[in-house]
Amino acid sequence: MKSLVCSICRREIDEADAHSFTIAGGGSSRIAVGLYCSTVHRDMARAIGAILDAPLGASRAVRERRERIADELLAAWRRGVGPDPDDVLFAAEWAEAAGSNLLRASDASPQPAPAEVESAA
């Protein structure tokens, strides 16, 4: 039996207890990303993935900043501090939607920011 480790905390986990999530791959395929000891650590990975997934057309400087934020968040979370992963994911996804609207707006007429996203809670 191969031993699995959480991609966030490096703790060993049983395959039966492992959590994962998927992202869009090429075309309609989905790619499973990592294995996590808990839903909290899975959500941390999703949030970091959303930060690293810079919008198309983002400059190198934007990408480097996002990488730095992701590194610092991961370091904080591994120390047991830092913001709620759900909040980070929400902010990253909202920023992505806003960014893509801005990029579109730059070669078209101005568009409003994405409509207020109602909290699903």
Q: Return the range that interacts with Zn ion (CB under 5 A); candidates 19-27, 39-47, 65-73, 100-108.
A: 39-47
Among 2, 19, 33, 37, binds Zn ion (CB under 5 A): 37
Closer CB to Zn ion, 41 or 66, in the complex: 41
- How many C-beta atoms lie closer than 10 Å to residue 66's C-beta? 20
Burial of 54 (0-12, 13-18, 19+ CB in 10 A): buried
Question: How distant, in Å, are the alpha carbons of 2, 15, 20, 30 from that of 51?
Answer: 31, 27, 18, 19
Residue 33 binding Zn ion, by CB under 5 A = no
Among 9, 69, 91, 103, binds Zn ion (CB under 5 A): 9
Q: Return the range that interacts with Zn ion (CB under 5 A); candidates 29-37, 53-61, 74-82, 111-119.
A: 29-37
